[in-house]
A and B are shown apart, each in its own frame.
Chain A
């Protein structure tokens, strides 16, 4: 039996309409998992859905910042063997020009949604024994920081702290919780123009491996943490940064 196989596992992926979420859903399906994918954008979510391999997958369009949509999602969930919390936002914003709405929005999507989702699946007994909870965090806020990202950094480091206590609380049931701390990943978020092309090129060269990561490479780390290969791994933050934070 391949220890990296996800055959027989049912996995929920949030933020599955693009980038890391989409790549994660596709990779998990290729490794044999049954997927429940969710995101806000229905057309793009359906696009991901059509890219999944295998059968019996489910797509649920939902904006998880709204309690009723979160509740509806929870109601529809079968018993899960894994949750991958990918949904997140980033916007370059210096603190001196950050207002309360910006803070609330970033914390809500990046931090509160994963916390409430975890709380609710637990309270509604939707997790199988031995399930694996994964939080896509960041090097930003945990291993380093960038200008214009104070609230983002706060939201991401909060995830790592949350994950550690969850790992302890759920260990008696063999449920594991881990974070992945990626460096910069080439996604649409990055290519939207909010960072200049020249700056991006300069920043890429700061990585010892001379490039940003690919969504598929984060997906591979997710597969690893979901699989039985990491049955004894909990409470950890997996660094995936092309060597960026070595320097």
Chain B
């Protein structure tokens, strides 16, 4: 690709290699199966994907979590709910008394087969992260499928009725915004204000926080950029918006991403690209080694510019200083 030749390597722009400063978030991808096929999905998830985390890998996850002081268990997919063993796995995760969150596409919770997760999440105190790309119905449906917007409104109202998203209930409902095209998201504060006002006024919906996530130029989104002749401009935009101040808080510094097969990655995006942890860190749960993983050198590529553009981006939204780079 021409951009590989012309683009300044990420590590050079970052003035050297990135190093992790602990593992605060254990992000577990339980599989790529999903009831939706969103056009921006970097995982390229869908109903026909067969990758599902085997039970022995789930047990390895639990063993690592039991043995180490990791604050957050962050479960993602695909649609995690489509993993048949998720309920039992969630029970075991919840018993570890860590912050436990599930990233859901939301609309799956309207399906008869999966609606019981609403009660399960509530009972276990699971924090729910729902993807709501846009306040505009057409834009959301264009990205995620016909009828998804109205489904999401119904699900958010159900979650609200269980106390989710309300202050002081202990039931956390966070939303995710990501751009519906070849552009970067604006500042999180401005978008969160818009979401809060519009959802309250139009649908009576409340939520805790909005995470703004930049679309990564990998998977289906990269295909879209290339097909529409937007790839070069998008990458130039990411590189042009490179913000060194976002570097100390990029998610890979405090996150370890576990693939469905137990392989270890610096982030979900590296997972899709098949770039396991490296530089001497063990690349599978079966050979987990805390010091080598917690302070590993991070594997980077040009897609990393997606996390350092503008105010920065992570699975938790716009970045804030969370650890010292030299820690």
Do A and B pair up? The answer is: no
Chain B interface (Cβ < 8 Å from any Cβ of A): none
